[in-house]
Protein backbone atom coordinates (compact mmCIF):
# COMPACT_ATOMS: atom_id res chain seq x y z
CA UNK A 1 0.00 0.00 0.00
CA UNK A 2 0.97 3.55 -0.49
CA UNK A 3 2.65 5.13 2.56
CA UNK A 4 0.72 8.38 2.00
CA UNK A 5 -2.55 6.53 2.65
CA UNK A 6 -1.31 5.45 6.10
CA UNK A 7 -0.15 8.98 6.91
CA UNK A 8 -3.56 10.32 5.88
CA UNK A 9 -5.28 7.66 7.97
CA UNK A 10 -3.20 8.57 11.04
CA UNK A 11 -3.96 12.25 10.53
CA UNK A 12 -7.68 11.50 10.20
CA UNK A 13 -7.60 9.29 13.31
CA UNK A 14 -6.16 12.17 15.31
CA UNK A 15 -8.57 14.64 13.77
CA UNK A 16 -11.55 12.40 14.54
CA UNK A 17 -10.54 12.26 18.20
CA UNK A 18 -10.17 16.03 18.49
CA UNK A 19 -12.35 17.81 15.94
CA UNK A 20 -14.43 15.18 14.25
CA UNK A 21 -14.56 14.40 10.55
CA UNK A 22 -16.84 15.33 7.71
CA UNK A 23 -18.84 12.59 6.03
CA UNK A 24 -16.44 11.96 3.14
CA UNK A 25 -13.37 11.74 5.37
CA UNK A 26 -15.17 9.44 7.80
CA UNK A 27 -16.27 7.20 4.94
CA UNK A 28 -12.73 7.08 3.53
CA UNK A 29 -11.29 6.27 6.97
CA UNK A 30 -13.81 3.42 7.56
CA UNK A 31 -12.97 1.92 4.18
CA UNK A 32 -9.24 2.23 4.83
CA UNK A 33 -9.53 0.67 8.30
CA UNK A 34 -11.56 -2.22 6.87
CA UNK A 35 -8.73 -3.00 4.46
CA UNK A 36 -5.67 -2.15 6.58
CA UNK A 37 -5.02 -4.24 9.67
CA UNK A 38 -2.15 -2.03 10.90
CA UNK A 39 -4.22 1.15 10.88
CA UNK A 40 -7.22 -0.67 12.41
CA UNK A 41 -4.96 -1.96 15.18
CA UNK A 42 -3.62 1.58 15.71
CA UNK A 43 -7.16 2.95 15.98
CA UNK A 44 -8.13 0.27 18.50
CA UNK A 45 -5.04 1.07 20.57
CA UNK A 46 -5.85 4.77 20.47
CA UNK A 47 -9.42 4.11 21.63
CA UNK A 48 -8.15 1.95 24.49
CA UNK A 49 -5.73 4.69 25.50
CA UNK A 50 -8.46 7.33 25.50
CA UNK A 51 -10.71 5.05 27.55
CA UNK A 52 -7.91 4.35 30.03
CA UNK A 53 -7.25 8.05 30.43
CA UNK A 54 -10.93 8.76 31.06
CA UNK A 55 -11.17 6.26 33.91
CA UNK A 56 -8.05 7.49 35.72
CA UNK A 57 -9.21 9.15 38.94
CA UNK A 58 -8.00 12.69 39.35
CA UNK A 59 -8.07 14.13 42.81
CA UNK A 60 -8.34 17.86 43.28
CA UNK A 61 -8.45 19.80 46.53
CA UNK A 62 -11.97 20.32 47.87
CA UNK A 63 -11.48 24.06 48.05
CA UNK A 64 -10.14 24.43 44.51
CA UNK A 65 -13.32 26.08 43.22
CA UNK A 66 -13.46 28.44 46.21
CA UNK A 67 -9.82 29.41 45.76
CA UNK A 68 -10.35 30.01 42.05
CA UNK A 69 -13.39 32.19 42.78
CA UNK A 70 -11.40 34.16 45.35
CA UNK A 71 -8.61 34.79 42.84
CA UNK A 72 -11.16 35.93 40.25
CA UNK A 73 -12.77 38.30 42.76
CA UNK A 74 -9.39 39.74 43.76
CA UNK A 75 -8.47 40.30 40.13
CA UNK A 76 -11.85 41.94 39.49
CA UNK A 77 -11.27 44.28 42.44
CA UNK A 78 -7.82 45.18 41.15
CA UNK A 79 -9.27 45.89 37.73
CA UNK A 80 -12.13 47.98 39.10
CA UNK A 81 -9.70 49.94 41.29
CA UNK A 82 -7.58 50.70 38.25
CA UNK A 83 -10.70 51.67 36.30
CA UNK A 84 -11.90 54.03 39.05
CA UNK A 85 -8.45 55.64 39.14
CA UNK A 86 -8.72 56.04 35.39
CA UNK A 87 -12.18 57.61 35.82
CA UNK A 88 -10.85 60.23 38.22
CA UNK A 89 -7.96 60.93 35.89
CA UNK A 90 -10.47 61.67 33.13
CA UNK A 91 -12.52 63.90 35.43
CA UNK A 92 -9.47 65.89 36.49
CA UNK A 93 -8.31 66.13 32.87
CA UNK A 94 -11.71 67.42 31.73
CA UNK A 95 -11.82 69.96 34.56
CA UNK A 96 -8.31 71.11 33.74
CA UNK A 97 -9.20 71.48 30.07
CA UNK A 98 -12.32 73.50 30.87
CA UNK A 99 -10.41 75.76 33.24
CA UNK A 100 -7.79 76.20 30.55
CA UNK A 101 -10.34 77.20 27.95
CA UNK A 102 -12.11 79.68 30.20
CA UNK A 103 -8.94 81.18 31.67
CA UNK A 104 -7.04 81.44 28.37
CA UNK A 105 -8.13 85.06 27.68
CA UNK A 106 -7.01 86.15 31.15
CA UNK A 107 -3.68 84.35 30.86
CA UNK A 108 -3.12 85.87 27.41
CA UNK A 109 -3.78 89.36 28.87
CA UNK A 110 -1.12 88.70 31.53
CA UNK A 111 1.33 87.58 28.83
CA UNK A 112 0.48 90.62 26.67
CA UNK A 113 0.93 92.99 29.65
CA UNK A 114 4.30 91.33 30.43
CA UNK A 115 5.35 91.67 26.79
CA UNK A 116 4.39 95.33 26.54
CA UNK A 117 5.98 96.32 29.86
CA UNK A 118 9.19 94.33 29.48
CA UNK A 119 9.64 94.41 25.69
CA UNK A 120 9.31 90.65 25.17
CA UNK A 121 8.86 89.74 21.46
CA UNK A 122 5.43 88.48 20.40
CA UNK A 123 6.86 85.13 19.22
CA UNK A 124 8.34 84.53 22.68
CA UNK A 125 5.01 85.41 24.29
CA UNK A 126 3.15 82.98 22.02
CA UNK A 127 5.70 80.26 22.72
CA UNK A 128 5.39 80.91 26.47
CA UNK A 129 1.60 80.83 26.22
CA UNK A 130 1.73 77.41 24.50
CA UNK A 131 4.18 76.10 27.10
CA UNK A 132 1.92 77.43 29.86
CA UNK A 133 -0.73 74.89 28.77
CA UNK A 134 1.38 72.00 27.49
CA UNK A 135 3.95 71.54 30.25
CA UNK A 136 1.40 70.53 32.95
CA UNK A 137 -0.23 68.10 30.49
CA UNK A 138 3.14 66.56 29.66
CA UNK A 139 3.92 66.21 33.37
CA UNK A 140 0.55 64.52 33.93
CA UNK A 141 1.22 62.10 31.08
CA UNK A 142 4.62 61.32 32.57
CA UNK A 143 3.09 60.62 35.97
CA UNK A 144 0.44 58.30 34.49
CA UNK A 145 3.03 56.40 32.45
CA UNK A 146 5.26 56.09 35.49
CA UNK A 147 2.36 54.75 37.59
CA UNK A 148 1.45 52.19 34.93
CA UNK A 149 5.03 51.03 34.60
CA UNK A 150 5.37 50.79 38.37
CA UNK A 151 2.11 48.80 38.76
CA UNK A 152 3.11 46.47 35.90
CA UNK A 153 6.48 45.93 37.55
CA UNK A 154 4.93 45.14 40.94
CA UNK A 155 2.40 42.72 39.36
CA UNK A 156 5.24 40.72 37.79
CA UNK A 157 7.10 40.41 41.08
Q: How far from 40 is each of 4, 34, 35, 73, 87, CA to CA, in Å? A: 16, 7, 8, 50, 63
Phi and psi for 50 in degrees, rounded to 5?
A: -60, -45
CA–CA separation, 29 vs 51, rounded Å? 21
Tens-place pLDDT, residues 90-146:
787 788 888 888 988 999 899 899 999 999 998 998 998 888 888 888 888 888 788
Regarding whether 72 and 48 lie in a shared domain, the answer is no
Same domain membership, residue 72 and residue 32: no
- pLDDT confidence tier of residue 2, bands split at 50, 70 and 90: low
pTM beyond 0.75: the answer is: no
- Residue 10: C-alpha distances to residues 5, 52, 56 (Å): 9, 20, 25
Asked if residue 152 and residue 81 are part of one domain, the reply reads yes
Say how far apart CA 71 and CA 121 lie, in whole Å. Answer: 61
Residues 42/10, Cβ–Cβ less than 8 Å:
yes
Task: Please tell me whether residues 50 and 68 are part of one structural domain.
Answer: no
Query: Can you give the residue range of the structural domain that contains 104?
Result: 64-156
| The total number of structural domains that make up the chain | 2
pLDDT in tens, 17-62: 778 889 999 899 899 989 999 888 988 888 888 788 888 888 888 8
Asked if residue 34 and residue 70 are part of one domain, the reply reads no
CB count in 10 Å sphere of residue 133: 15
Amino acid sequence: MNEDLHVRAQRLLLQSAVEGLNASEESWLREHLAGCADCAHEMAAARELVHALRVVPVSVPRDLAARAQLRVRLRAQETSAAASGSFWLWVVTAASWLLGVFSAPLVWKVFAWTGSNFGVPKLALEFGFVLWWTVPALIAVGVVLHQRAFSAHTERH
